[in-house]
Amino acid sequence: MEDVDAAPTTLARARDAHGEVVLRCRPPGTYELVVNGVFAMDTVDVATEELLATLALDRVPARDRPGDGGRTVLVGGLGLGFTTRRVLADPRVTSVVVAELHGALVDWTRAGLVPPAAGLLDDPRVQVVVADVRDVVTGAPPGSVDAVLLDVDNGPDFLVHDGNDALYDAPFLRLAATRLRPGGVLAVWSASPSPRVRAALAQVLGSCDEVLHVVERQGRTFTYALYLAPAAPAAPAPAAPAAPPTPDA
């Protein structure tokens, strides 16, 4: 049970060019991340952070043919690692690139200072890039990933960095969509329903599912939202040429 009156303990604090990052713990065992002076997340209810990965990967079509390789996922925002851990729980996933703006959070995670993310970055399938997710998406080769999962703010209406606003509009989402393989999925987390994100994803990829999750905390009701938009599937393989007619015997 969350004890909202308990004073949080600061476990780690760092400042970089993008602002301050603070990791806190609130008894009896809730971890909180504050980024640039803005509450970014805590561990009271991480169902949607995990569902972001699960629902996206559920929508990615099977690749069973020889040579198709495993699944590749790009995650925007390490946070406390729940989305990335859930991605890695899928044995089909062979590569995960995590873009995280704040290097200190990556350092703390590697050093074991972030208990929810213990051991996460030891998985050889994970590559963490300390950079803006916008740059990591831009640098990814077109058609190279099966899912792009964006959870860098509390959604477009509650940003941790003002510069993230453009991540929720069609131009960036269109760029991200070009990085998807056929049948890949572009997914976005939001702390509240966002018609803006849903419309932008539908504009870019043709359709967008909204998944809502109601959370009760501190006597208030929150509705977290996930947006999932699939890219067009691969065109069916061309039919084998018809066998030439057999001459009559």
Ligand X SMILES: C[S@@+](CC[C@H](N)C(=O)[O-])C[C@H]1O[C@@H](n2cnc3c(N)ncnc32)[C@H](O)[C@@H]1O
Residues with active-site annotation? 151
CB 141 within 8 A of CB 156: no
Distance CA 178, CA 148 (A): 11
**By CB under 6 A, what part of segment 20-39 binds ligand X?**
35
Q: Which stretch binds ligand X (CB under 6 A): 57-65, 98-106, 196-204, 228-236?
A: 98-106
Q: Which residues have a Cβ under 8 Å from the Cβ of 181 and sit 6 or more positions away? A: 72, 143, 144, 145, 146, 231, 234
Which neighbouring-strand residues pair with 54? Answer: none
- Pick from 22, 23, 41, 121: which binds ligand X (CB under 6 A)? 41
The reply on whether position 77 binds ligand X by CB under 6 A is yes
**By CB under 6 A, what part of segment 106-145 binds ligand X?**
132-133
Q: 152 or 204: whose CB is closer to ligand X? A: 152
The reply on whether position 79 binds ligand X by CB under 6 A is yes
Q: Which residues have a Cβ under 8 Å from the Cβ of 242 and sit 6 or more positions away? A: none
- Dihedrals phi, psi of 172, to nearest 5 degrees: -70, -40
Q: Which residues have a Cβ under 8 Å from the Cβ of 238 and sit 6 or more positions away? A: none
The reply on whether position 228 binds ligand X by CB under 6 A is no
The reply on whether position 160 binds ligand X by CB under 6 A is yes
Write down how long the chain is.
249
The reply on whether position 40 binds ligand X by CB under 6 A is yes
Residue nearest to ligand X as judged by C-beta position: 79
Q: How many CA atoms lie within 13 A of 97 on its CB side?
A: 21
The reply on whether position 147 binds ligand X by CB under 6 A is no
In the complex, minimum distance from the CB of residue 99 to ligand X, in angstroms, rounded to a whole number: 5
For residue 165, what are its two tokens? 């606003």
The reply on whether position 99 binds ligand X by CB under 6 A is yes
The reply on whether position 105 binds ligand X by CB under 6 A is yes
The reply on whether position 90 binds ligand X by CB under 6 A is no
Q: Which residues bind ligand X (CB under 6 A)?
A: 35, 40-41, 49, 76-83, 99-102, 105, 132-133, 151-152, 160-161, 164
